[in-house]
Amino acid sequence: MKLDPKVYQLEFFREKGFTRKQCRVCGEYFWTLNPDQEHCNDAPCVEYYFWELPRVRGLSVRDARRKFIEFFKRHGHEYVEPRPVVARWREDLYLTIASIVAFQPHVTSGIVPPPANPLVIVQPCIRLEDIDFVGLTIGRHLTSFEMGGHHAFNYPDKTVYWKEETVRFAFEFFTKELGIPEDMVTFKESWWEGGGNAGPSFEVTVGGLELATLVFMQYRVVDGKYEPMDIRVVDTGYGIERIAWFSQDVPTAFHAIYGELLDEFRKLLGVAEPPRELLWGAARAAGRLDPEDPESVERYYQVVAERAGLSIREARELLGREAALYTLLDHTKTIALMLGDGIVPSNTGEGYLARLVIRRALRTLRRLGADIELAVLVERQARYWGADYYPRLLSHLDYILRVVRLEEERYSKTLERGLREVTKLLKRKKKLSIDDLITLYDSHGVPPDMVAEAASKLGVNVDVPHNFYALVAKKHGASGAVAREVEEKPKLPRDIEEWARGFPATRRLFHENPYAREFTANLLGVRGSHVILDATLFYPTGGGQLHDTGVLRLCGEEYRVLRVEKVGDVVVHVLDREPSCSSGEAWGRIDWDRRYRLMRHHTAVHVLLGAARRVLGDHVWQAGAEKTPEKARLDITHYELPSREEIRKIEELANSAILARIHVDIEEIDRNTAEKLYGFRIYQGGVPMTPRLRIVRIGDWDVEACFGTHVANTAEIGAIKIVNVEKLQDGVVRFEIVAGSEVARYAASLEDKLDTIASIVGGGRGEAVKRVEKLAEELKEAKRQVSRLRSFLADMLVKSVKATAKSIDGVKVYVMTEELPDENIYREVMLKLSREEPDSITIAVIRRGEDLLMEIGAGSKAAKRVDLRAVAKQLASKGLRGGGKPSHITLYGRGLAEKASKVASEVVEVIASLVSRAGTA
């Protein structure tokens, strides 16, 4: 977006005597008090030189965090506790990528007031868009970091503060709190976009290092266009780790962030500290490094090598190992944070992003050649940070380590299978695209460098993009694009939705009294068979709960309500036919038995979720749910299929909650209050974009923001029976349950099945188990006898077939045309003949009704002379379709059973021709 330069001209700059200049390297404009400054003071326009500046020294990450918070608290900002790194309160984003994300879109759009105004927060963030550069740039890029943000929300009728105050705060913080000389602080003009918002910004750079970004969010981005926001937001991001690095006399951000943990990792990974002159040379030169430019990376190694008096090869090797060490420091912290906030690795959503980081860490570990479990490194991170700012890392440590070990085990198995797929693909294609590399990684877990290595052995060149993992992460929604899969519900026709939006909100009688069965209301509008009332007892489909059905009496006639939907706050009833009037009083009655079964099932799902979390762990999160009158399902995040014992325990706990007769409290409360009281666990079934939330609380068992109808006490559920548990996909487990009266119906259906089984095996229900056990033993014995008879018959057939052998240029050809009761006998004979006669080819002719199946197998010597796939190719013209391996093929011919003998002769002729040709060659 082209901006008027006046946007960046501030009274503060005029007062202090700042000059606007243009960077001689990148051409960007900046403001400075230094009359001799010619560059923007930012990488890659200048080398890092901040170590040479006067400044407050020796701040740890903890010190920098505390100093930032205390400064803004002194300047009237209220401290707000940080959010999780998983953006549970948003449906369009997986990870918390910035501090402002905590307030988007509900606060920035004006739906919900901020928890404080102005406020200060230090938010743990995860960004994967630069994951490929971690380690190489010695600290400029991290996947996990802390963002210090002070935010002000300016409403049309109330301005808190804007550009002038924001820049003054930054200048005072850096000069007074950090002791930086005033003429060393540069404000670089910039533009920022993220999370659907945008605005002009200043990047604060000192000594080559960007320490903060000051964004003045004033636009929303809609279809690539910028629309002014009603609320102007001060959105700042101070790099807490960068401030710590800036203050310390250490070469890299990893030294500043991790301290003694860096030394511990060195020992565990066997990475010796490189020469001091090499490390410091790399630290300074990294300021000019553009990791996206291969030529810049090459120049970087050349410069560092020259300064250290090493060859480029030596410098690259030493810095490569150092970068791998830094990568593992960074990634293991990110893994701990992701799993500590309850992510379950999977093939979709945030679970995919966690798996990506874990697998990249595993690959880095293997390339280093370190003989150590990834879980050992992750545990060190959890203990290091858990004692300070992230206590959940310690409380969830067992889960974190178990999942990391499980992922490492799965990755090894996946990799073995994946490399076989790579070989197959490379035999088909002589060039692999980026999409091919991403597919191989997504589907088979094979990293691109391993693909390139396998390809080189086959003479295929593969270009691996320098930002491969960032591309993969972006594809899976890590960059801030709309990502979450939101459960779709049936849509009304578009014209009906538009029509419905013109009505006032429907009074929700189904919430006011979910036990009511009849009601009266006023008819507001009719469009075909669609009806809108001013109030209704009919629950609309939503929150995974099916809609109500029943009758409506309008204009003296009764109509069936077939379906109920919600458009915003307006409820639309879909009737069995078009009403004869469009106004007047309406009377309605819901199908109460159906509604009550829905209520029981919905509350049962909440109870089941609470039980699953208690048995399986705090990482359990609702991944989907559905409630119908007949049954309910609950999909949860979990890393493996629960055992029978765990399932039984979950069911017992759920029923204990029913026996405890826990009261179900429902109240509408302010969103910020709800989040403070209950945390983000309330967003199990979605995130309502409303200032107030309808909270359903079942004692201390479960609490959720929920739109559905519920019973008043868990005792009303009656009972819960888990009827099925299955792995829906990697990282997601589905529970199916019945509750209340449906438990009795389920039991009755089981009794019917048991009676049927009893009548088949003989005797009554009580004897059914023993009789089935006896039948199972008899079946096992029968199978053993059949196996022995099959083997005996196969031996007899081998002798019989050998007597009819045809010799063709040294290759024996056997033909089996006998009709046998078991097709497996043909295959057993074929295997025996191939093993006993390596120079033989066996043809089995098998009739299947009117069709013909042919199995052809070759011994080891015969297979070298004749590739049976060539046989299949020649027989295709004779109506036989199929294929296989050089030593075994399967062919199928429709309607050829009557011509079996003739077809067998033709097959022998084809084989004879190929054998003869091979002999001549």
Q: Which residues, 6 or more positions from 737, have their beta carbon under 8 angstroms from its beta carbon?
A: 601, 604, 605, 608, 631, 632, 633, 634, 720, 721, 722, 723
In angstroms, rounded to a whole number, what is the distance separating the alpha carbons of residues 542 and 506? 15
Classify burial at 905, counting beta carbons within 10 Å of its beta carbon; exposed 0-12, middle 13-18, buried 19 or more. Answer: exposed
Report pLDDT for 919: 65
In angstroms, rounded to a whole number, what is the distance separating the alpha carbons of residues 709 and 605? 12
Asked if 189 and 8 count as a contact pair (C-beta separation under 8 A), the reply is yes
User: In the listed set 380, 414, 448, which residue is the last one of a domain according to the structure?
Assistant: 414
Comparing C-alpha atoms, which of 300, 249, 241 is closest to residue 47? 300
The number of folded domains in the chain is 5
Match 């992750």 to its residue by tokens.
378
Strand partners, 734: 635, 726
CATH of the domain at 740: 3.30.980.10
CA distances from 348 to 97, 374, 437, 628 (A): 18, 22, 18, 27
E-strand ranges in 706-783 read: 720-729, 732-739
User: In the listed set 748, 764, 780, which residue is the last one of a domain according to the structure?
Assistant: 748
Residue 99 lies in a domain: yes
206 and 110 co-located in one domain: yes
Residue 573 annotated as binding site = no
501 and 556 co-located in one domain: yes
576 and 600 co-located in one domain: no
Asked if 757 and 768 count as a contact pair (C-beta separation under 8 A), the reply is yes
Residue 440 lies in a domain: no
Residue 23 annotated as binding site = no
Tens-place pLDDT, residues 196-240? 789 999 999 999 999 999 999 999 888 889 999 999 999 999 999
Asked if 252 and 330 count as a contact pair (C-beta separation under 8 A), the reply is no
Count other C-beta atoms under 10 Å from residue 545's C-beta: 25
In angstroms, rounded to a whole number, what is the distance separating the alpha carbons of residues 586 and 572? 14
CA distances from 852 to 94, 260, 532, 820, 873 (A): 55, 73, 65, 14, 17
Q: Amino acid identity of 591?
A: D
163 and 92 co-located in one domain: yes
202 and 232 co-located in one domain: yes
Which uninterrupted H or E stretch holds 600?
helix 592-616
Report pLDDT for 484: 42
Q: Amino acid identity of 618?
A: D
Task: State CA 557 to chain mean position distance.
Answer: 52
Domain range for residue 904? 805-920
564 and 622 co-located in one domain: no
Residue 783 lies in a domain: no
Q: Which residues, 6 or more positions from 434, have their beta carbon under 8 angstroms from its beta carbon?
A: 465, 468, 471
569 and 676 co-located in one domain: no
Residue 710 annotated as binding site = yes
Residue 699 lies in a domain: yes
Structure tokens, 882:
């199929």
Tens-place pLDDT, residues 656-699? 999 999 999 999 999 999 999 999 999 998 888 889 999 999 99
Query: 558 by DSSP, 3-state: which?
Result: strand
Q: How many residues does the chain have?
A: 921
Return the HEC string of 887-919.
Answer: CEEEEEECCCHHHHHHHHHHHHHHHHHHHHHHH
In angstroms, rounded to a whole number, what is the distance separating the alpha carbons of residues 594 and 629? 6
In angstroms, rounded to a whole number, what is the distance separating the alpha carbons of residues 48 and 615? 52
Return the HEC string of 33-92.
Answer: CCCCCCCCCECCCCCCCHHHCCCCCCCCHHHHHHHHHHHHHHCCCEECCCCCCECCCCCC
- State the Cα torsion 548-553-555-557 to the nearest 10°: 110
96 and 230 co-located in one domain: yes
861 and 738 co-located in one domain: no
What sign has the CA pseudo-torsion 317, 319, 320, 326? positive
Asked if 129 and 94 count as a contact pair (C-beta separation under 8 A), the reply is no
In this structure, what DSSP letter does residue 155 have? B
Angle formed at CA 172 by CA 167 and CA 174, multiple of 5 degrees? 95
100 and 185 co-located in one domain: yes
Structure tokens, 266:
């060195």
Strand partners, 675: none
Residue 552 lies in a domain: yes
Residue 797 lies in a domain: no
Q: Amino acid identity of 258?
A: Y
CATH of the domain at 879: 3.10.310.40
Q: Which residues, 6 or more positions from 864, have their beta carbon under 8 angstroms from its beta carbon?
A: none
User: In the listed set 386, 414, 442, which residue is the last one of a domain according to the structure?
Assistant: 414
In angstroms, rounded to a whole number, what is the distance separating the alpha carbons of residues 404 and 334? 12
98 and 209 co-located in one domain: yes
E-strand ranges in 483-605 read: 507-508, 518-527, 530-533, 535-536, 550-554, 557-567, 570-575, 584-590
Report pLDDT for 412: 86
CA distances from 59 to 248, 388, 398, 884 (A): 7, 15, 32, 68
In angstroms, rounded to a whole number, what is the distance separating the alpha carbons of residues 164 and 646? 59
ω before 118 within 30° of 0 (cis)? yes
Residue 275 lies in a domain: no
In 3-state terms the chain splits into helix, strand, coil percentages (rounded to 5) of 45, 25, 30
pLDDT averaged per 10 residues, the chain (length 921): 87 97 96 96 95 96 97 98 92 91 90 96 95 95 97 96 98 98 97 87 97 96 90 97 98 97 96 94 95 94 95 95 97 97 92 94 93 96 92 95 95 83 78 83 82 78 82 72 43 92 97 97 96 97 93 95 96 95 94 97 97 96 94 96 97 97 96 93 89 96 96 97 94 96 92 88 81 87 84 80 81 82 79 86 85 87 86 84 87 84 84 77 43
375-390 burial code (b ≥16 CB/10 A, e <16): bebbbbbbebbbeeeb
Structure tokens, 284:
């300074």
CATH of the domain at 224: 3.30.930.10
Q: Which alpha helices (DSSP H) does 633-764 contain, by range?
A: 644-659, 671-678, 741-761
DSSP letter string over 165-233?
Answer: HHHHHHHHIIIIIS---GGG-EEEEEEEEETTEEEEEEEEEETBEEEEEEEEEEEEEETTEEEEEEEEE
Strand partners, 192: 199
In angstroms, rounded to a whole number, what is the distance separating the alpha carbons of residues 841 and 533? 80
Report pLDDT for 177: 97
Full-model pTM: 0.85
Tens-place pLDDT, residues 816-866? 877 777 777 878 888 888 888 898 888 888 888 888 888 888 988 888 888
Query: 818 by DSSP, 3-state: which?
Result: coil
Match 């033909």 to its residue by tokens.
815
Structure tokens, 730:
């990697």
56 and 29 co-located in one domain: yes
Residue 759 lies in a domain: no
625-656 burial code (b ≥16 CB/10 A, e <16): bbbebebbbbbbbbbeebeeebbebbbebbbe
Match 């009496």 to its residue by tokens.
553
What distance, in Å, lies between the first and last C-alpha atoms of the chain? 72
Q: What is the CA radius of gyration of the chain?
A: 35
Task: State CA 383 to chain mean position distance.
Answer: 26
In angstroms, rounded to a whole number, what is the distance separating the alpha carbons of residues 24 and 22? 6
